[in-house]
Each structure stands twice: as C-alpha cells, then as structure tokens.
Amino acid sequence: MNDRNPASETTRPAQSVVSPHPYATQRAALLAEQAAGSKRRDTLLYLNGVTKSFDGFKAINNLSLVVAKGEMRAIIGPNGAGKTTMMDIVTGKTRPDEGEVYFAGDVDLTQEDEAAIANRGIGRKFQKPTVFEGHSVEDNIRLSLAGSRSIFGALLHRKDAAEQSKIDGILATTRLGEKRRTPAADLSHGQKQWLEIGMLLAQDPELLLVDEPVAGMTDAETEETARLLKEIARTRSVVVVEHDMHFVRALGVKVTCLHEGSVLSEGSLDHVSADPRVVEVYLGR
C-alpha cells in the first residue's frame, strides 16, 4: 500500500532550499574532527615533505611517509635511495632541512636529540650487530634492561621476578632461550642479530627501525627472522629496510619503494613489484 500523502509532499519545501539546522553543521564538523583525530591517533610516525641535502644533493626529497600504530612496513629501493638517511632523520642523527617529522601524534622529532628520541620509544638496529661479546646472551639482555643503572650494578643486583620474566619473554621471542648462558661471541651471525633485536626489545620501544636484518643470514635464519619480526609487530610498529625480496615477501606487509629520496611506489609487494618504475630503477637491475 502506498501511504505517502501527495498533498503534504507538494506543501513540503524542497530540501535543497532548507538551510541545515545549526546543530547539524556542528555535528558534521564534530564527526570530521573525530575522524581526523582517530586517524591521528592511529598514526605512529608521520613524515611530511621532508627534504635533506648534502652539499646541494637532495638525499631526501619531499618525502612523505605514514606508519600506523602496530604496523610493520618494509622499505625497499636502490642504493642511495635515501633509506638510511630517512632512518637517520627519524632517530635524530640527521636534521632535515625542511618538512615535518612527528611521532605518536604531536612529538616533533625535528626538535629532539638522539637520546631524547630513543627515550620516546624509538629503537634502531643497525645492520652490523653490536652485542657485548664477552657476556652471556642473558646478561646482554639484562644490561639493556638496566637503563640508567651502572653495568656493574645491573649484573650484581638481586634479580627480581618481574625482570626475570621479561628477560625470559625476550629470550623466547628471539629464539635464544637455550642459548641464554652462551657467550654472545659464540653465537652465529643470525643469532647475534636476534640478540640485538632482543636488546632493543628490552627498552620497550613503540617503534623499531631495523636496517637489513637478514644480510648474511642463512635461508633458515632469514625465514625465522620474518616470523620473529611478525611476532614483534603484534605489539609494536616496525620499519624494516631490506633488499632481500624473499624476506620481504615472507613479511607479507605493505611495502614502500624509495628512489632519489622520495616514495616511488607504495602498496602490497605484488603491486609495488609490478610497477614499471620500480622494475626500471630497482628490481629489474
């Protein structure tokens, strides 16, 4: 049955001529603000229009990159694309000439030094592992937990249960539980890389920057590293720079290809590796 009343339709003014009720406009503005706010809250690392020149050469050129909370992102690109310089900028080692770099909403990283940025919860793993070779695996983790305590104090102080359980958790994550008493010097190259990742985890970073973690690893170690980083990324954001495409595929995350200091292509590995520009400057080489 058609219960519409044609008479009332003819008398009702057309919607387009009715100006919206002030509350409706306010509500629309509020919703837009909430959406923008929640987007901001979801963002952990925000780079916008970042540029850095060395002697007139733009190593980073109008780079924009957004990493969400809890996201793992793989960064690929040819040598000299600016991957290391990008990480140097995020960690405060290098100051950008222009652009915005924000962490966790409103922390302006361009205004902070390396130590302050590390304290904010940004941990970086360089390509070459730097562990305390003479100490056991477990003590390496303990020393990293210690923070401001002296090294001597860290090794001598009474072990409390909470600390021990944190160390055990890190050893399990980094597949080093059975190696806890082994001197770091006796670990394989891959295990040393995992130990260093564990030492970073001891500092509870919200964002981990990892530079070429699988370079020099065996295939089995490479596969295990992909699993390990995926586990870590359940509770933190991870940005991993890597040339090994098998490894990047195993990560199964969004990929950003840098070239000449800017984003050349971004998306799934399939999308990025099918991009003719990426094939031309990187994958096809």
Ligand X SMILES: Nc1ncnc2c1ncn2[C@@H]1O[C@H](COP(=O)(O)OP(=O)(O)OP(=O)(O)O)[C@@H](O)[C@H]1O
Q: Are 171 and 180 in contact (CB under 8 A)?
A: yes
Q: Are 47 and 64 in contact (CB under 8 A)?
A: yes
Total residue length of the chain = 285
User: How near is the Cβ of 54 to ligand X at its closest, in Å?
Assistant: 3
Cβ neighbours around 239 below 10 Å, total: 25
β-pair partners for 72 = 238
State which residue, 59 or 199, has the beta carbon closest to ligand X. Answer: 59
User: How near is the Cβ of 138 to ligand X at its closest, in Å?
Assistant: 32
User: How near is the Cβ of 89 to ligand X at its closest, in Å?
Assistant: 9
User: How near is the Cβ of 43 to ligand X at its closest, in Å?
Assistant: 23
State which residue, 80 or 216, has the beta carbon closest to ligand X. Answer: 80
* Nearest in space to 74 (alpha carbons), one of 264, 251, 272: 251
* Nearest in space to 214 (alpha carbons), one of 172, 247, 186, 176: 247
- Give the footprint of ligand X on this chain (CB under 6 A): 54, 59, 77, 79-85
State which residue, 80 or 99, has the beta carbon closest to ligand X. Answer: 80
β-pair partners for 108 = 102
Tokens of 217: 């690893």
Tokens of 133: 């070779």
Q: How far apart are CA 41 and CA 237, in angstroms?
A: 14
User: How near is the Cβ of 124 to ligand X at its closest, in Å?
Assistant: 13
State which residue, 174 or 256, has the beta carbon closest to ligand X. Answer: 256
User: How near is the Cβ of 142 to ligand X at its closest, in Å?
Assistant: 32
| 165 alpha carbon, distance to own chain's centre | 26
β-pair partners for 263 = 258
State which residue, 80 or 267, has the beta carbon closest to ligand X. Answer: 80
State which residue, 54 or 126, has the beta carbon closest to ligand X. Answer: 54
